[in-house]
Chain A
Amino acid sequence: MMIKLQAKDIVFSYNSSPILNNVSFDIPPSKLVSIVGPNGSGKSTLIKCIDRILTPQSGSILIDRKEVTRMKRMDVARNIAYVPQNSLRIFPNNVVDTVLMGRRPHLGWLSSDDDEEKVWEVLRMLGIEDLGMSNFNELSGGQQQKALLARALVQEADVLLLDEPTSNLDIWHQLDVMNIIRNLVNKKVITALMAVHDLNLASRYSDRMIMMKKGKIVAAGEPSYVLTPENIKSVYNVEAAVRRQSETPYIIPLKQVAMGRKG
């Protein structure tokens, strides 16, 4: 099997409290993989370790068999792009300049017309070209998410990491953003790994899911394999019913199970 992105025994802790505990997984090229799990399970930390925003204490991360921890930061940026959870800026820019930042790994001091043209292309593809001159801070949540996505896309890396890309969005925009990502994966433009809270959204769009609890992987595989009432109960302490909608499993949370019990 071809492997695009591989994590081996990643360990990460803040001071002495462990966040990631021997996390390992493989991702084949042109797949969309979701990392799910409760708050504090280490999803975002894992994403940040892969992009070397955080440095794991041990373990290795390989992209196309090359060790990410030994690459120069600029080389990492040419291989992996990251869409952060949204945040406001102190000194905001307009959308074009915000997206143009993503070209940094490919340019010297001046941006060429080609760089700008790439920015416009991506803005057109995402349908936000008309917002080019708008102030980033004044956009709606969905528009900001698309602008951040655009910035990651102009980086032209073939692995895209996303941290809760849909958390601030209404359901129309959730589908909109997920469809864009799914299409890029289908066209074999990118391999995507995203941390996400919404199990149903993850199930519907992902090729594979990785379910985490307290820094460890509990289950990994196709959505129908991961999303079982047993897994959900043991990871989230929630009793849930799992139904199917055209082969895709979706869950209906029923009730909480007291925390701290074995399971």
Chain B
Amino acid sequence: MAKEVRRRSSRTGKLSTTQEAYKKFIFRKTAFMGTILLLIILLTGVIITLGPLDITIMEAYCALFDKLYPDCFNVDDLTEQVIWNIRFPRIIGGVMAGFGFGVCGCVMQAVLKNPLASPFTLGISAGAQFGIALAAVLGVSVIGGPYLLIGNAFVFALLCSGFIIALATIKGATSETMILAGIAVNYLFTALSQLFKYFASDEQLRLMTSWGMGDLAAFTWERFPLILAVFVICVPLLMLKAWDLNIMTAGDETAKSIGVDANNVRTFIMVISSLLVATVVCFTGTIGFIGLVAPHMARMIIGGDHRFLIPASGILGAFVLISADAIGMNIIAPTIIPTGIMTSLIGVPFFIYLILKGKRREFWT
């Protein structure tokens, strides 16, 4: 393609230095994403080797490929069992959760034009937490059986964001109404959950607390197809709006003048990303920090073009999440530190370092 560009512009003369710089910038963005993806693959191998059962990196990759090409590799059954049923699902869960949070944080910051927006701005975690409390304390649930907790978390997370989106749409769906309504509903549902906690027994309290900290242990293969299906539908829909998101960061008036109906796009993005986040949250619990910070990190490194920023936020979110989780699992083994706690403990210092290192005025450029 580079050759094509060169040929085309040779009609008007050769590429200027700024044009060259722009092309290099585009290449750097792609290279950055490729590098992080590669690191995730490498890290997966390394993380699999960590734990009570000794596994080498070669065995790790062999076991992973053994499922696909059963006859090519020679891996003993126990190793393969541990890798496929315990260690690998947790990594896949981490990658999907981190990717989902990163992507949703990125698009929400764009449509709300607010650097503090995160996937939980619309009260999703508060709603889910309330659903868990309801199920844990009163045994009341929308869906019964093994999906009691998860079902409740999902339904109340969506109910909460649905209410805010409806309210904002009636009032005109400006970013300000959405943020204010989100904060208000957040407080309401947090208060309701607190109320349940106040009357809960020790056992119920433990359940609520552990869910609130966010844990990847809940991710199993049975749940994988459902989450994957939601990802396959939602992520491309968000990606399709990349141009409109770029334009919306320039303000609603400008967006309208370029042909983008800001309110419609905002509602669309909110609906899709709420669905995505609610799906992830009901399996993993609240892992809050990634969705806020992964987009900022990505923005600092590759700039504000959402065609690149959305996938980069997701990839970076996945990378940070599985790194932090790996440390949490092994630093004081056999005790495992919950994922939500570890991501903040590792991520916050790193993020503050990036803020200090960046330009003073606009750390997110």
Contact = CB atoms under 8 A, between A and B. Distances in A.
B170 interface: no
Interface string A45-89: 000100111000000000000000000011111101110100101
Given A52-B256, A73-B259, A87 B8 contact: no
Contact of A102 (B18, B242, B258, B303): B258
Nearest to B21: A133
A51 B258 CA distance: 10
B240 interface: yes
Contacts of B81: none
B115 interface: yes
Nearest to B254: A84
Contacts of B18: 129-133
A37 to B, nearest CB: 20
Interface residues of B, number: 43
**Chain A contact patch, size range:** 35 or more
Contacts of B8: 113, 117
B311 to A, nearest CB: 13
A22 interface: no
Interface stretch (A11-19, A23-31, A91-99, A198-206): A91-99
A96 B24 CA distance: 13
For the residues of B in contact with A, the DSSP-based class is helix
B243 A84 contact: no
B19 interface: yes
Interface string A137-171: 10000000000000100010000000000000000
Contacts of A48: 253
A120 interface: yes
A10 to B, nearest CB: 17
B258 A155 contact: yes
Interface in B83-119: 109-110, 113-115
25 contacts: A48-B253, A52-B256, A53-B257, A77-B257, A78-B259, A80-B257, A84-B251, A84-B253, A89-B250, A93-B246, A93-B304, A93-B305, A94-B25, A97-B304, A101-B250, A101-B258, A104-B243, A104-B259, A109-B239, A109-B240, A113-B4, A132-B21, A133-B21, A135-B365, A151-B258
Given A77-B257, A105-B258, 11 more contacts: A51-B256, A81-B257, A89-B251, A91-B299, A92-B362, A93-B249, A104-B247, A109-B239, A109-B243, A130-B17, A135-B362
Interface of B: 4-5, 8-9, 12, 16-19, 21-22, 25, 109-110, 113-115, 239-240, 242-244, 246-247, 249-251, 253-254, 256-261, 299, 303-305, 307, 362, 364-365
- Which A-B residue pairs are the 5 nearest by beta carbons? A77-B259, A82-B257, A74-B259, A132-B18, A105-B259
